[in-house]
Amino acid sequence: MSQVYIPACLRNIPKKKTVPRKQAIKQAKVEVINQSISMLRDELRSGKLDGMMMPYQRGYLSAISHLEQLRDEV
């Protein structure tokens, strides 16, 4: 029985805790939705829509609220 030598400093290292698969997927979905919401808000605040009509701004706000609802459902 030849065992591979493992130094003492590496023998007692605790195992890295992993997130369950479903929870990791859920966290990734929420992260993507949060990023898209922040991108829309940045675009809305940047002043690109200052010359646009009000319906475009309402559309951005509507999209943000729909994404927030999606995020809450996940």
pLDDT in tens, the chain (74 residues): 578 888 888 888 888 888 899 999 999 999 999 999 999 999 888 876 666 667 778 888 999 999 999 999 98
Nearest to 41 by CA among 68, 59, 64, 58: 64
Residue 45: strand, helix, or coil: helix
Q: Is the dihedral of CA 5, 8, 12, 15 positive or negative?
A: negative
Residue 46: strand, helix, or coil: coil
Cα 59 from Cα 43, distance rounded (Å): 12
